[in-house]
A and B are shown apart, each in its own frame.
Chain A
Amino acid sequence: MLYRETGQFKTSYKADMAVFPIRQDRIGLAIILLLAFVAMPLFGGGFLLSAVMIPLLVFALAALGLNLLTGYTGQLSLGTAGFMGVGAYACYKLTTFFPEVNLIVWILASGFFSAAVGVVFGLPSLRIKGFYLAVATLAAQFFLQWCFIRIPWLYNNNVSGAIEAPVRTLFGMPITGPHATPELRYLVVLSIVALLTWIASNLVHGRIGRSWMAVRDMDIAAELMGIRLLPTKLLAFAVSSFYCGVAGALMVFLWYGSAEPEVFSISQSFLILFMVIIGGLGSLIGSFLGAALIYGLPIVLKSLFPMLGLSVGAATVEHITFMVVGAMIIGFLIVEPHGLASIWRTIKQKLRVWPFPY
């Protein structure tokens, strides 16, 4: 009953083409934004903000970027972490070269560097498809990581071989470094993620998104309809890497505070890919849900053990967490192979016909 579209008529194509054509969805979104922007920083607390929410948003952004490439355009990529690294290192270099310029500008600008690198490694996608394409992106992953280790210029010759986020401010308040409050860091991350999500939603709902999906679903037919494959795929690589790059910069500057090249390792790439898949390929919401599941679930599970009054060693908790997460991933897939976003859609569908079963 709550979820009824009856009576909501669209009188213009404009209204019908809105991203959220249904009123309840718009209200829901408003509530979520309100919670995220107001309630969370007010009541969240340090641990929730810095150890849960910020990482989650960063991962969601990276997953969103990868989703544009893999979910929307159908190009499998295993180089996500590498592209994130490019963003992080680019931002690091930029902000050490031009410390006066606001960090936010550089965080966004660093995305362009990873976009450029993404395009280069996207070139083989014209000829190579599917799992085979993974090798091109793997080459990117390993080559980039090697560069992060091997080119001292990238990390300003630091003895530790790591990059450290220098202290930068926004409106006179520190947003990086030890004095930055979790609330402020969270809000900065959230704003950037929200902005980029909005842009992504614009892209995928328009001509570009349609060409991407066309290439994904049936590339030959797309080509026969005048969609040129290479530019379309490369654009997807560029946009996707842009997102990953920004996520990488956010990760180092507003979350970790400093990072070794090891942070951008292949396992991170896989992790993000799995967030995308479990969240739902080709779904923006899915990226957030996937990040929440894969990153958040272990944290929740871990805190569950003490709550249940079980005292088991930290290692055993970890083992069991691994097993449970693994089992849950499989379970979710069995319930709904097309990801959490699809479960979400089914629930909406059920709500729509409620109280009837179908």
Chain B
Amino acid sequence: QDGKDANFVPLFTYRTGPFSGSGIPIANGMRDYLEMLNQRDGGVGGAKIVIEECETGYDTKKGLECYEAVKGRNPVMVNPWSTGITLPLIPRAAVDKIPVLSMAYGLSASADGQTFPWIFNPPNTYWDGLSVIVKHIADELGGLDKLKGKKIGYIYLDAGFGKEPIPMFEQFAKDLGFELKLYPVAATDMQNQSSQWLGVRRDKPDYMVMYGWGALNPTAIKEATRINYPMNRFISIWWPSEDDARSAGAGAKGFRELNWHGVGTDFPVLKDIQKHVVDKGLSKVAKGKEGEVLYNRGVYNSMLIAEGIRNAQKLTGKKAVTGEDVRRGLEAINLTPERLKELGMEGFTDPLKLGCADHNGHGAAFVQEWDGEKYVKIGGPIKPMEDKVGPVAAAAAKDYVEKNAGWPKRSEACDSK
């Protein structure tokens, strides 16, 4: 619709509201990568990308409004960037024929492409993340069996996102023999966690795991430093940013989190962004914020978008593709090392291959540590524990289908085998 040879990519962003701290770098990263393609290559496959942001303020209401506003304009996909917005879109995607890319958030069960042909959440799920964290702790201790008798605390946002890993965590605790302590933080109490951390003082867990978002993260890191919790035993899922750690001061040194892509600007792709976008004044990113964790996460997200479009173009031979085409294109994503190199992302992230059944890839993640200035990668990539996560994910997908009676069987053909 928007121009003849163009693809319309709406980006749902939240540069405003209480979560804008996380939303802004992500939005900048997403935008800048696509803009870079437009500037450098004239878009993807010769078709310009029409980028349009729609501000959600991390509010489901506004997210749905954004969706309704873009859905008639042939978007190649939507990026809701909020679990609350993703959930209502899941059943609609198939009907409206618009794929939903919820990168490492949203409904973890939607990794199952047979059940959710239109939803993609690469490269990891929160369950994968949890298994990686457990594995990392086990590695530190010297083996999974060493977890026996240990105590692990879990501090999380008391909402769907934070609660999702709990059954899995409990399963691990049972299987591996450690004790799990829960410290829920309500959304209204994110800045006020002293009771939780008092609990930590009482229970003295050997490790702390965090699934937080927004203001929860910096406050938790600060509180941890206040009670002198050993930071290198404090491991978070992949959402804390540099700012979150920085605001806790020197005490935050050693804080760890998962990640699956590089930080910093030392990658060809980021150099290109610098050259074609930032230096031309086309970016909104604040000076020095390029290359930060969440910015690069946005870049990664947009790389998937572009790959999806590119594959769709290849599969259909069209320049301007539709949501249906891109759904196929996303299933065909195969980020081999060679491809990553072409993309200027060598060393930026690990290879990833999606398929009709696997919309996630369950890729490896690594642990990075805050050194007081920046995050540095420690140790190599850790693969999620497929054997543990797989059944849980499968069961969850089955459960979803059961509870939503009449959930359609996959009718979309499969291109890649």
Contact = CB atoms under 8 A, between A and B. Distances in A.
Direct contact of A and B (CB under 8 A): yes
Contacts of B404: 164, 166-167
B107 interface: yes
B64 A313 contact: no
A313 B87 CA distance: 27
**Number of contact residues on B: which range applies?**
35 or more
B182 to A, nearest CB: 11
B57 A260 contact: no
Contacts, number: 118
Interface stretch (B65-73, B342-350, B354-362): B65-73
A159 B68 contact: no
Interface string B172-190: 0000000000000011100
Nearest to A176: B91
B95 A159 contact: no
Interface in A124-143: 142
A161 B160 contact: yes
A265 B160 contact: no
Nearest to B92: A178
Given A160-B87, A314-B15, A315-B13, A262 B60 contact: yes
Nearest to A48: B68
B403 interface: yes
Q: Which residue of B68, B72, B108, B188 has the most chain A CB atoms within 10 A of its CB atom?
A: B68
A167 B15 CA distance: 34
A99 interface: yes
B341 to A, nearest CB: 33
Given A314-B55, A315-B15, A178 B64 contact: no
Interface stretch (A225-233, A251-259, A348-356): A251-259
How would you classify the secondary structure of chain B's contact residues: helix, strand, loop or mixed? Answer: helix
A13 B254 CA distance: 81
Contacts of A344: none
Nearest to A180: B95
Q: Which residue of A159, A162, A178, A261 has the most chain B CB atoms within 10 A of its CB atom?
A: A159
A179 B68 contact: no
B53 interface: yes
B158 to A, nearest CB: 6
A318 B15 contact: yes
A318 B71 contact: no
Contacts of B405: 99, 166-167
Contacts of B53: 313-315
A264 B167 CA distance: 25
Given A55-B61, A314-B53, A315-B15, A257 B88 contact: yes
B159 A262 contact: yes
Contacts of B78: none
B87 A319 contact: no
A58 to B, nearest CB: 10
Contacts of B61: 55, 263
A43 interface: no
Nearest to A315: B15
Interface string B308-340: 000000000000000000000000000000000
A158 B395 CA distance: 11
Nearest to B95: A178
Contacts of A99: 405
Interface string B83-119: 1100110111111100000000001110000000000
B92 A46 contact: no
B406 interface: yes
Contacts of B406: 166-167, 177
A262 B15 CA distance: 19
A317 interface: yes
Contacts of A153: none
A144 to B, nearest CB: 13
B68 A47 contact: yes
Contacts of B95: 178-179
B213 to A, nearest CB: 11
A160 B107 contact: yes
A17 B294 CA distance: 64
Contacts of B400: 158-159
A335 interface: no
A68 to B, nearest CB: 24
A296 to B, nearest CB: 11
A133 B57 CA distance: 31
B75 to A, nearest CB: 13
14 contacts: A158-B399, A158-B403, A167-B405, A256-B64, A257-B88, A259-B60, A260-B87, A260-B160, A262-B84, A313-B15, A313-B53, A315-B27, A317-B55, A318-B55
Given A258-B90, A314-B53, 12 more contacts: A149-B159, A159-B108, A159-B109, A160-B107, A162-B87, A177-B91, A177-B406, A256-B60, A257-B88, A265-B187, A313-B284, A315-B55
Interface of B: 13, 15-16, 27, 52-55, 57, 60-61, 64-65, 68-69, 71-72, 83-84, 87-88, 90-96, 107-109, 158-160, 163-164, 167, 186-188, 284, 396, 399-400, 403-406
